[in-house]
Amino acid sequence: MMLLAIEQGNTNTLFAVHDGKDWIAQWRTATESTRTADEYAVWLAQLLGMRGLALKALNACIISSVVPQSIFNLRNLSRRWLNAEPLVIGDPGVDLGIQARILKPTEAGADRLVNAVGAHLKYPGDLIVIDSGTATTFDVVAADGAFEGGVIAPGINLSLQALHEAAAMLPRIAIQKPDRVIGKDTVSNMQSGVFWGYVALIEGLTARIKAEWGKPMTVIGTGGVASLFEGATPAIDVFDSDLTIRGLLEIHRRNTHMGA
């Protein structure tokens, strides 16, 4: 088996290749909902070639996307160029192997359910998964692997963008950890507000979730900007960048009965 796993968020899309034993390649591209299957194929073929791989070597595909208008083109990429019918998270025939114990299970985002699978597979007990991307999500995963709901907050990049666009005097800045909390100029003021503000958000929400849950919980950080907070707060117990693709691989195994 040569599996292409596609994890598409609102900002970036991850393509990862698993050869049946290991993840052998990963690439990210900006999410563009109008990109066609053929455009994806040209881009992917070039990157595969740089690793000594060929597009025709891929023979399986699994897709998780929070951008509904892109799914048609990603399906066609798999069907046309991989000659494989893809598994798409959210399709009626795809069994995730977990329960979504929320009021409207169909509302659960594909990325959050995949993260729940990937987290439960590796970490025992009750969990909080913090995924820092376009939005920052806090997902509660029970000890039996069920998705119990959580919290959605604006992502750190959205906050920076909003500051710049809504306030004429505030510049567009890069995200980085400031040395001090009290800024001495406009940029350092903004960096402190966004960075330490998000640390406080993480610390405050995880504390409230734990108090409401009433049992010990392990907190896992993942997502595109999660590494920014590594070492900045003891509220996150472990950082795991492979959480989502681990979940996708496990879902593929469960639905195809193929071992790695």
Mean pLDDT of the chain: 91
Q: In what order do the strands lie in the sheet with 3-8?
A: 23-30, 12-18, 3-8, 60-65, 87-88
Residue 88 pairs in a beta bridge with 63
Catalytic residues: 111
In order of start, what are the domains of the chain with their CATH numbers? 3-88 (3.30.420.40), 105-245 (3.30.420.40)
User: Does position 216 have pLDDT exceeding 80, yes or no?
Assistant: yes
Give tens-digit pLDDT for 7-31: 998 888 999 999 999 999 999 999 9
Q: Is 9 exposed, middle or buried (0-12, 13-18, 19+ CB in 10 A)?
A: buried
- Cα separation, 250 vs 140, whole angstroms: 19
User: Does position 260 have pLDDT exceeding 50, yes or no?
Assistant: no
* Percent of the chain topping pLDDT 70: 97
